[in-house]
Structure 1
Amino acid sequence: MSSVGAGSTAGSTAGSETGSAAGAGPGPDHLRLVDPATPVADLADVVGETLAGGPPIAPLPADPVAAGVVRAMLRPEVPVAEPDAAVVVSTSGSTGAPKGVVLSRSAIRASAAATEQRLGGPGRWLLALPTHYVAGFMVVARAVAADRPVLDVGRDLSGLAAAVASAEGRSYLSVVPTQLTRALREPALAAALARVDAVLLGGAPAETALLDRARAAGITVITTYGMSETCGGCIYDGVPLSGVTVTLHPGEGSQNPSFTRRVVGDPAPEPGHGEDRPDQGRVWLGGPMLFSGYRLRPELTAATVIDGMIRTNDRGVLSGGRLEILGRYDDVIISGGLKIDTAAVERVARGWPGLDGEIAVVGVPDPEWGARPVAYAECWSGQFDAQSLRSYLMSRLAAHELPARIEVLPALPRTTSGKIDREALRNGAARTTTRRENEGFTDPSAKGDQQ
């Protein structure tokens, strides 16, 4: 195992550790750990060497604690068994412990080529995401695959205006909803975003209101869906990239026993099986961009990849021939014997006009009811009208769906990828800094709508 340090080049290392064999140095199948302080130009060189057949790499997060967790999970002293391996990226850990996802050179190239085709040709990629996660790594990989430069514009997009002013030809950027929300509050940043040819938006659900504001500002926003296991986004605006297969299989949310399997892009179904029918299904993904396996977890790989398709934990529905993600199967909780889709409750809550940050609804254990939905609201302005939110929800949700309480935070806990850390919320890690607003949400066993 070797490590690429800040300021080092693709052909050098900042240090090395002995491999698993006694007295042996790092071999070609051992991971090179990439220091998070490595300049993006040097990282691009490392990625280029890896894609050309060099040893696989594993970018580390900047946070020392997170880096220690990732290093322990990766076990870099153990050679990488998967053939053609290029990189091991970490999952975000937003719903549990992070996993190492092995991506091959061929998968990365296939994903990069399909993205370039969908966006209309090669361009200069602007980096605004951490590179130890797949979204940021693929920004660098796409640039390298297209033999184009990549420029770091910062997580806060502070370098975006200068980057677009000097850009020649097309330019592309990937962001998460929080970055876009904050950028729209700054006219100069919004104007710079409007000069980017395509702004890929992923990592979390994108609200219609946010998309409307961005597009009204002249920003070309493309929503993406994917995961570490698919080299990041593989479905843009609900439509699969070239070579990507998406199927829906019946799951807990399907209400029609005749619903067995639908493929995005299929010809029009027979009468009585319309494209916009409300049946839900588990999303399965296939194509050349699939990962090679989970790092040192063959049993998990076998349970996830079946007949060349990834069995996701996401619930989807076809609407107008496009895939819409409704949430995850573990978003559904049983409270007092009644099912509650916390993702659906969260979607309703995000429509509240008084929300000035983000909101998350998660199921938390309850000794009496089994589980209860709890809403965690982010308040950036310091002004939060809990009674208004309470009334808004009561007019739109069944009584048993109402959050047991609302907890207000100055900021929601997040993973280093920028995703809301739902596991931390479930575990109550944020409660010591919250104030609770729980009047009116008491009995999940009540049925019917409250108007």
Structure 2
Amino acid sequence: MLSGQREFIIAFVGMVRAGVIPVPVFPPAMLTRVEAYRERLHSIHASCLPRHIVADDALFDICVEAVGEKPVNFAELAAGEPTGQLVDADGGDPLFLQYTSGSTAAPKGVVVTHDSLMENVRCMTEAVGASGERDRFVSWLPVYHDMGLIGYTLVPLVNEISTWFLPPYEFARRPTTWLDCMSRAQGTFSNAPNFAYDLVTRRATEEQLAGWDLSAWRVAGVGGEPVRPATMRRFAERFAAAGFDAAALNPSYGLAEGTLGVAFTPVGRGLRTLTVDAADFAERGVVRPVADGPGAREIVSCGRPLSGWEVRVRAASGELLGESAEGRIELRGGSVAQGYWEAPELTAETFGDGWLRTGDLGFLHEGELYVTGRTKDLVIHHGRKYHPTDIEWAALGLPGVRPDHVIAFSTPDERLVVVAEHKPALAPPDLARQIATRVRGSIGVTPDDVVLVKPGTLPKTSSGKLRRAACRDAYSPSTPAGHGGLQ
């Protein structure tokens, strides 16, 4: 629980060398509401029952309120005399607990071992050819989890690569500082979710474009949420004037239970997509390539599995599927984490029989992995299955709808609900009807309910992902005029 990136990295590395198992936790600045942070902190504390909590002055009172425990002050700890006591760990020992972001359920503590971390660092470094002699990493991602912690803190630490860090709140306040830093540092590596590429594309001015030099950027990673081809193309076109090469676009796939990276796009190839017949894909999971047009769906490749990974796709019935058939993604390899902390039943369910059941849907095509959604997020409407991202993306672009702030889900009685954050000053009075019309025209299904909510209403994880399950649980269809709301 440290608000500064530098302080966190010092504490994390120090704990590992001392033989302590660190449990990184986001500071409340990463959440829209302090109350949500207190709830998350309480949940994590109850799960792992830490011996001590380390916090700085800014988080001291919040920690006491959340768990009723006085934390150790980081400044006092750092000012103490070194003990000189270092612990040599075995490869199978836990290195740290990586709590999942809780997008579909309560956060779970993934046990990352020394072996699983070093194997994942090895295969990711090999895949992108990262080198301290030529590369400069730039990141505004939180250093407490996933890509920010492993990809942009531990990978460069192991490989002695210089890294420039921007505070996440600085990106949130002024997104273009990310590209300012890329230009000034002549950064070669930087990752971000899809929404961040969209945000800087819309916010950058012509004056900024004229002053930036993005020609050194050779790996523009994108992951952590579904990748929109249109977003990537707009970004590449917009920043070509600043020297950005579209071949640097690098969609990837990973998850905490696999430590981090699973599949990366080959460096220097750029975006690859597959356009399929949407009806065949939705009804039977059949990948039938078609030309772009009405009734087509474009899906982004996440590249090839990294060395040391085995990837297979299985049907819900357990049948092993071949290429070009959508099913449940399962993984095996040295990067798979040890399991969930103090949760043997959940560990057996997810990590049992030597294969990691990711909970993600996708397919293999010509040796590459295409990720299409989450099993638990599938929308069921009158017996037909839809991916929520297809419905959500259909609503984007309408005046008054906040970009990347739309959630689609189905109720237990198979009603389709779309919830969108709107900008009250810009939203037309018939925005809900416009959303329903757009979804019907794009997907061929009409929402049973469209709910408009104020900015900041939709529930999010600690890493900023929208929480569909939490939104579904909060939905109430009993408000006046037949329009539901969020409780």
Instruction: Tell me the TM-score normalised to structure 1 length.
Output: 0.73
Q: Is the deviation greater in 287-296 or in 125-134?
A: 125-134
Residue 462 of structure 2 aligns to a residue in which SS? coil
2:44 aligned to 70, 73, 76, which one? Answer: 70
Aligned position for 1:325: 371
Find out whether 1:363 has 2:328 as its counterpart: no
Whose helix fraction is larger, Structure 1's or Structure 2's? Answer: 2
Q: Quick one: distance in 2 between partners of 1:335 and 1:161?
A: 42
Is the CA contact (8 Å cut-off) linking 1:202 and 1:233 kept in structure 2? Answer: no
Residue 320 of structure 2 aligns to a residue in which SS? coil
Q: Cα RMSD over matched residues?
A: 3.4
Q: What 5-or-longer segments of structure 1 have no aligned partner?
A: 1-34, 263-274, 440-451
Aligned position for 1:292: 338
Is the CA contact (8 Å cut-off) linking 2:110 and 2:339 kept in structure 1? Answer: yes
Q: 1:161 to 1:437 in 2, by over 3 A?
A: farther
Residue 137 of structure 1 aligns to a residue in which SS? helix
Shift of 1:72: 2.1
Find out whether 1:382 has 2:391 as its counterpart: no
Aligned position for 1:60: 25
Map 1:194-233; keep pairs closer than 5 Å.
195-216=216-237, 217-218=239-240, 219=244, 220-233=248-261
Q: Quick one: distance in 2 between partners of 1:398 and 1:161?
A: 39
Aligned position for 1:179: 196
Shift of 1:425: 1.0
Find out whether 1:164 has 2:182 as its counterpart: yes
Q: Quick one: distance in 1 between partners of 2:348 and 2:387?
A: 29
Q: Quick one: distance in 2 between partners of 1:186 and 1:85?
A: 42
Is the CA contact (8 Å cut-off) linking 2:402 and 2:420 kept in structure 1? Answer: no
Instruction: Tell me the TM-score normalised to structure 2 length.
Output: 0.68
Residue 427 of structure 1 aligns to a residue in which SS? helix
Q: 1:348 to 1:158 in 2, by over 3 A?
A: closer
Find out whether 1:131 has 2:143 as its counterpart: yes
Counting aligned pairs with the same residue, the percent is: 22
Find out whether 1:234 has 2:262 as its counterpart: yes
Q: Quick one: distance in 2 between partners of 1:322 and 1:82?
A: 31
Map 1:52-451; keep pairs closer than 5 Å.
54-63=19-28, 64-65=37-38, 66-77=40-51, 83-122=92-131, 123-138=135-150, 139-155=152-168, 156=171, 157=175, 159-161=177-179, 163-167=181-185, 171-187=188-204, 191=212, 195-216=216-237, 217-218=239-240, 219=244, 220-236=248-264, 237-251=302-316, 260-262=320-322, 275=323, 277=324, 279-335=325-381, 338-343=383-388, 345-346=390-391, 349=394, 357-358=403-404, 359-365=406-412, 370-380=413-423, 382-384=426-428, 385-399=431-445, 402-411=447-456, 412-428=458-474
Q: Quick one: distance in 2 between partners of 1:437 and 1:164?
A: 49
Matched to 1:36, the amino acid is L
Shift of 1:192: 6.5
Residue 374 of structure 1 aligns to a residue in which SS? strand
Q: 1:345 to 1:211 in 2, by over 3 A?
A: closer
Q: Quick one: distance in 1 between partners of 2:389 and 2:181?
A: 39
Q: Quick one: distance in 2 between partners of 1:351 and 1:382?
A: 14
Shift of 1:410: 2.5
Residue 27 of structure 2 aligns to a residue in which SS? coil
Shift of 1:62: 1.0
Shift of 1:393: 2.1
Q: 1:238 to 1:312 in 2, by over 3 A?
A: same
Q: What 5-or-longer segments of structure 2 have no aligned partner?
A: 29-36, 53-88, 265-301
